Amino acid sequence: MSVVDELRGVRLFSGLSQRQLRQLARLAKERQFRPGVTVVEEGTMSGVCFFIVAEGEGSVSVDGEEVARIGPGDHFGELALISEAARTATVTAVTRLRCHVIAFWDFRKFARDNPDVAWKLLQHLADLLAGERERRARAALALG
């Protein structure tokens, strides 16, 4: 499967033209991670890249607790696209994980030139924020 085909399967990029997908694919670098390898670590400035999972499975944890499993078509590191703040979660490869990695400065220019992607990214970040708020509320209830 080509990089363009893999990017086409990402919800954030649905609706992009073939030309836009090719342009995005040129920005992506492929990285592979062995099982057990920490890709990004919560609380650290572990780079300013956006990751798109092409193959394999990863575990997302916050405060040491697994909150999600991710696989092909999923992505992480989107907050790095907006700010250069510390990572808000740890992602660890569960199986061999193959990702397409895009530096924030490259993606920022792409999003500026393709406002539909920027809007979808904002919607996704709002969903993440709402999910985090809900997770914290459940945790507080469990403690109470």
**Residue 126 maps to which CATH number?**
2.60.120.10
pLDDT value of residue 130: 75
pLDDT value of residue 81: 67
Scored b (16 or more CB within 10 A) or e, 2-35 reads ebbebbbebebbeebeeebbeebbebbeeeebee
For residues 71 and 69, what is the distance between their CA atoms, to the nearest angstrom?
Answer: 7
User: Looking at the predicted structure, is the pLDDT value of residue 65 above 80?
Assistant: yes
Range of weakest confidence among 64-73, 90-99, 120-129: 120-129
How many structural domains compose the chain?
A: 1
Note down the domain range covering 20: 3-143
Nearest in space to 9 (alpha carbons), one of 52, 65, 68: 52
* Tens of pLDDT, residues 3-48: 999 998 888 787 788 999 999 999 999 999 999 999 988 877 766 7
Scored b (16 or more CB within 10 A) or e, 46-65 reads bbbbbbbbbebbbbbbbeee
Q: What angle do CA 56, 58, 32 make, to 5 degrees?
A: 55
List, in order, residues 6 or more apart from 122 with CB less than 8 Å away. none
